[in-house]
Amino acid sequence: MVAYSCAKVGVDARTRHIAASRYRGNAIQPGMVTTDNAWAMAESLPLDQILSRTPAPRLGKPEDSGALALFLLSDAVAFMNGQILSYDGGIHAVLNDVGAA
């Protein structure tokens, strides 16, 4: 988990660097997305607890992230720059810093 967390912080820093360099750069910070890899890890994760704490009534799907990526590439948000968007069904809105509700 340390390497994963460090990689996420690196993406956040790189996104801000791109934006500060006068290029358009935003990032998507997805929550639990139901991919084959996520299902493989599901045995070691308390998915029922994660879902019970998520304000959305379901976990994410790959097409959810794809739709957000298309939106960020559109002219509709041409002025948005340097943002890291949590796309997680609201889980970050209800969890504290240590991950407990």
Catalytic center residues: 4
Q: 10 Å Cβ neighbour count for 83? A: 14
Instruction: Kindly calculate the radius of gyration of the chain based on its CA atoms and give it in whole angstroms.
Output: 15
Strand 84-87 with 27-30, pairing: parallel
Return the exposure string of 46-81: e unless at least 16 CB atoms fall within 10 Å of the residue's CB, then b. Answer: ebeebeebbeeeebbeeebbeebeeebeeeeeeeeb
